[in-house]
Structures are given as C-alpha cells and as structure tokens.
Homo-oligomer: A and B are copies of this chain.
Amino acid sequence: MNADDHDPTECVVVREILDRVGDKWSTLVIALLGERGRRFGELKSSIEGISQRMLTLTLRQLERDGIVSRTVHPTVPPRVDYALTDLGRSVLEPISTLANWAADHGTDIAEARRAYDAREAAAVDSRA
C-alpha cells in the first residue's frame, strides 16, 4: 500500500487514537495501571495535579476504548478497581518507547526553548 494511499477514515481514527493515548493524563494512568491494578483514590494520589473530574473523565474514556477495565466489588462501601485489559497491556510498550524518548531528550528540548525565547525577545527588542 502506497503512503499516499491511506484510507482517510483510518487516518482519522489513528489520529484520534494518538491524541487519546498521547494525552498526558491517559499516558500516566496507563503507566500506573501497567504496574498493577489500582483503585480510584490510589490513582488520584499518584498523579500530581489531576482533578477528581479529570481522572473520572480519563478513566471513562479509557474504559470506553477498551484499554481499562472497571470492576465493582459488592462490598459496603463498594470497592472499584481499575486495571489494564489485554488491549491496554499491548499499548504499554509503544507508550514507554515514547516516554523514554521524552525522558532522554527533555534537556535538549528545554535548551531549545530557552534559545527560541531568547531569539524572540531579541527580535522584539530590535523592533522597539
């Protein structure tokens, strides 16, 4: 199949999936559940800066995508466990490849940003 010959519908799906699994909160939830199943509260306290609402939304989307399973235990109060499905486990490696790249190149990116911002500031000064 030629590179210019993609099914456009498939491209839209791939794009949308990338947007979802590349999302910073989804990535973190997938990484944490890749270690072991966790409850809502455990996830919340492990992810610095996530709101209750955003975690709920992220888990619901991942459940809808078939990446995360949600098990309600009939205790009082009910205990709800989240875990990766087989599909969810299959995305761990692609995500960790990208996360490792980000960890390895974080310094390069930070330096590039500083240089870019300095150039922009100089350009503004020279126009002042």
Contact = CB atoms under 8 A, between A and B. Distances in A.
Contacts of A24: 15-16, 18-19, 22
Copies of this chain in its oligomeric complex: 2
Interface of A: 3, 8, 10-19, 21-24, 27-28, 35, 48, 63-67, 87, 90-91, 93-95, 97-103, 105-106, 108-113, 115-117
Nearest to A60: B116
A93 B35 CA distance: 25
Given A97-B97, A98-B18, A66 B10 contact: no
**8 tightest Cβ-Cβ pairs between the two chains A and B:** A22-B22, A66-B112, A17-B102, A19-B24, A64-B116, A94-B98, A94-B101, A14-B102
A109 B17 contact: yes
A11 B99 CA distance: 10
